Amino acid sequence: MKSLVRRLLPAAFALTALNVLASSPTLDRIRETGVVRVAHRANSVPFSYLDASGKPIGYSMDLCMRLVDAIRVQLHRPDLRVQYVQVTPATRMDAILTGKADLECASTNNASERRAKVAFTIPHYIAKGRMLVKTTSGIQELSDLRGKTVVSTQGSVNGDLVRQLSDAGGLGITVVEANDHAEAFAMVVSGRAQAFAMDDVLLAGLRANAKNPADFTIVGKSQQVVSAGFFFSQLAFRRIAEPYPKRSANSS
């Protein structure tokens, strides 16, 4: 049964996203130009990142290609080309809102403030917000970071949550923002930050690809449950995410 679900889920996801696209100007533009512009990330392992040759790969990219195949069939355009647009946490929203990309396929969390600007598909993963630290740091909980520095990426609400908890607990934590996950991880490696606050699955990917994974550990009780989906420019797409649990839809 689990094997069957794994086989059917990508197809169901693609069909759901395509149904939304079908009633939008996005599909009309794709039909006219013969190009679908897919925004991706450089190091959001395991969802959207670059291989050794510089090609975007990952779980999100695999799902995106299923969607592109479905668009080819619906438009009767087997020649439909994919144009990749690399984005960062700081530029991903603008890429969609300004028309540089048609959809973003990575690991962007479905947060309420984002849904005011763009619309999300059904979630393609659920995660928990935690922290990556050096194994030798002795850090186990947020309270262990009193007076220390925590990094998160631009555009993520993980950093905002740490600020809120720090203020509420009088911890005096300094929260800084990195341009992307790789930079944030490097700050922990170099000691410029003592922890990286992010989705646990993304932190696990960074740890697994580190030169010495055992040097790092993922700690802290989860303060939030997050869901991520692909997003588009039309606000009408927002209705797809509405039926999902509030605790997921309002996370970052």
In total, the chain counts a number of residues equal to 252
pLDDT at 10: 54
Q: Taking the chain (252 residues) in consecutive chunks of 10 residues, what is each chunk's mean pLDDT?
A: 48 54 71 94 92 95 87 88 95 90 86 77 82 98 98 88 94 96 96 97 94 97 68 46 38 42
Contact 150, 195 (CB under 8 A): yes
Q: Specify the pLDDT at position 109.
A: 79
Amino acid at 43: N
β-partners of residue 177 are 152
Residue type for position 128: K
Distance CA 92, CA 33 (A): 22
Rounded Cα–Cα distance for residues 252 and 170 (Å):
23
- Are 90 and 68 in contact by the 8 Å Cβ rule? The answer is no
What structural domains and CATH numbers belong to the chain?
A: 2-124+229-249 (3.40.190.10), 127-225 (3.40.190.10)
CA–CA dist 51, 165 (Å, integer): 37
pTM: 0.72
pLDDT recorded at residue 197:
97
pLDDT of residue 124: 79
Query: What is the C-alpha separation between 63 and 43, in angstroms, rounded?
Result: 17
